[in-house]
């Protein structure tokens, strides 16, 4: 049974995981440096990089031990590491570690695209997936609609032209004084609010599949200045309602225009309750499958990197040890 060790350090999570060639997770360890960034309202790259340096060794060791492997000489078929996109200092910590282990243990090393990793996350929990599928990949750094004809075969149909969805959540939460990260708290508060109590514009009403969230964020700021009487829950519900309306409208258009067998969610914002409910209802309406990863598989983890690593090792072979970090590596450039 071929085993791949995955390593993920592109943002604030230091993660390592062992996944076998049937995409069964043997171990998955995630350490987050979120606490050190909380007071700054977002991830501070220098602090994230330092946290990775401090924890990478113990995180990898734990992942190997929990998978039943010898941490000094594990039997592995390869090491997959996120080489982009992400924060340069953070990416370099994972890359340096992965190259060191690959050299020491004499095994192949492969650089993986973080976004392709997110696309593999639903597969780890539902390996018997019927293709093609449309995936809505929404996180703190990215928002896109992807058509996947099979695992590893993807085409970006639309993406954000400004902020990512999670970024918009985090900025609105910061404006409302709700702390960081903003997604979970706005999602929770929305449950007690009324959608539409703060009128917000319909974004990107045009025919394309691209998104825009920065106008919505500005409209929330302007709107709450004019309506200080509105409760925080009503503002949260109105913002979340407008975000989901746009995401679901574009997703519907993509599903309608392509003959697909399923819809999947991926990325940190895939944890959003309204989005999960909306996507589930849409799949029912189209009579196709819905693939909603668990919370652990929505947010950054290394199992998804190991899964993508299995595929890339098989299809592209190992990466050269000269491979460096690519902070802006686009999903559309992954072949
Ligand atoms: O995928 P992720 O862990 O990191 C990136 O690669 O960006 O996503 C983190 C983002 C944050 O912006 C956070 O506010 C958002 O996901 N998020 C949510 C929810 N939970 C996390 N956004 C909306 N609703 C949620 N329940
Ligand atoms: Zn991510």
65: Cα separation from own chain's centroid:
26
CATH placement of domain 129-296 = 3.30.420.40
Which ligand ends up closest to the CA of 184?
A: 1
CATH of the structural domain 3-119+299-333, one choice from 3.30.420.40, 3.40.50.1110, 3.40.50.300, 3.40.50.720: 3.30.420.40
Q: Quick one: pLDDT band at residue 34, thresholds 50, 70, 90?
A: confident
| Lowest-confidence segment of 1-5, 189-193, 212-216, 283-287 by average pLDDT | 1-5
Query: DSSP letters along 29-93, please?
Result: EEEE-HHHHGGGTS--HHHHHHHHHHHHHHHHHHHHHHTT--SSS---SEEEEEEESS-HHHHHH
Q: Quick one: pLDDT band at residue 1, thresholds 50, 70, 90?
A: low
Q: Where are the domains of the chain?
A: 3-119+299-333, 129-296
Instruction: Determine the longest span between alpha carbons in the chain, in angstroms.
Output: 65
Those residues with Cβ within 8 angstroms of residue 167's Cβ, 6 or more apart along the chain or in another chain: 140, 141, 213
How far, in Å, CA of 49 to CA of 52, rounded?
Answer: 5
Residues touching ligand 1 (Cβ under 6 Å) are 11, 139-141, 166, 169-170, 181-184, 187, 267-269, 271-272, 299-300
Question: Which pair of structure tokens corresponds to residue 212?
Answer: 């825009």
Q: Which atom of ligand 1 is nearest to the CA of 275?
A: 24
* Topology alike, domains 3-119+299-333 and 129-296: yes
Whole-structure pTM value: 0.95
Task: Say if residue 71's pLDDT is above 60.
Answer: yes
Q: Where are the beta strands (DSSP E) in 224-321?
A: 262-266, 289-291
Q: What is the pLDDT of residue 183?
A: 95
Q: What is the pLDDT of residue 206?
A: 82
Bridge partners of residue 137, in order along the sequence: 144, 266
Q: What is the mean pLDDT of residues 235-240?
A: 98
**Are the C-beta atoms of residues 311 and 112 closer than 8 Å to each other?**
no
Q: Which atom of ligand 1 is nearest to the CA of 138?
A: 1
Question: Which pair of structure tokens corresponds to residue 83?
Answer: 């080489």
Ligand 2 centre and the CA of 8: distance in Å? 10
How far, in Å, CA of 118 to CA of 301, rounded?
Answer: 9
How far, in Å, CA of 329 to CA of 146, rounded?
Answer: 16
* Residue whose CB lies within 8 A of the most ligand 1 atoms, among 140, 217, 244, 248, for a mutation test: 140
- CB under 8 A, 24+ apart: contacts of 149-152: 151/120, 151/123, 151/311, 152/116, 152/308, 152/311, 152/312, 152/315
Q: What is the pLDDT of residue 139?
A: 94
Ligand 2 centre and the CA of 268: distance in Å? 7
């Amino acid at each position: 049974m071929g085993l791949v060790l995955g390593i993920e350090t592109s943002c604030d999570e230091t993660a390592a995981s062992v996944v076998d060639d049937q995409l069964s997770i043997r171990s998955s360890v995630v350490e987050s440096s979120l606490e050190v960034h909380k007071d700054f309202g977002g991830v501070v790259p220098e602090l994230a990089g330092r946290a990775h340096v401090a924890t990478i060794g113990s995180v990898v060791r734990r992942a190997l031990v929990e998978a039943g492997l010898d941490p000094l000489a594990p039997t592995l078929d390869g090491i997959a590491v996120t080489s982009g996109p992400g924060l340069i200092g953070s990416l370099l910590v994972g890359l340096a570690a992965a190259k060191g282990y690959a050299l020491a243990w004499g095994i192949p090393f492969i650089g993986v695209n973080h976004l392709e990793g997110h696309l593999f996350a639903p597969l780890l929990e539902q390996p018997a997936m019927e293709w093609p599928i449309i995936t809505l990949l929404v996180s703190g750094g990215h928002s896109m609609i992807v058509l996947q004809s099979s695992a590893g075969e993807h085409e970006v149909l639309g993406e954000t032209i400004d902020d990512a969805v999670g970024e918009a959540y985090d900025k609105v939460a910061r404006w409302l004084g709700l702390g960081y990260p903003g997604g979970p708290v706005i999602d929770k508060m929305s449950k007690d609010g009324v959608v539409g109590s703060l009128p917000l514009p319909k974004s990107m009403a045009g025919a394309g599949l691209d998104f825009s969230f920065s106008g919505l964020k500005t409209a929330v700021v302007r709107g709450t200045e004019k309506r200080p009487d509105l409760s925080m829950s009503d503002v949260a519900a109105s913002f979340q309602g407008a975000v989901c309306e746009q995401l679901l409208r574009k997703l519907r258009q993509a599903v309608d225009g392509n003959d697909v067998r399923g819809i999947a969610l991926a990325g940190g914002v895939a944890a959003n309750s309204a989005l999960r409910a909306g996507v589930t209802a849409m799949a029912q309406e189209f009579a196709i499958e819905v693939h909603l990863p668990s919370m652990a598989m929505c947010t950054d983890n290394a199992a998804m990197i190991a899964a993508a690593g299995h595929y890339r090792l098989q299809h592209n072979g190992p990466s050269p040890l000269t491979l460096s970090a690519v902070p802006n590596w686009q999903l559309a450039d992954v072949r």
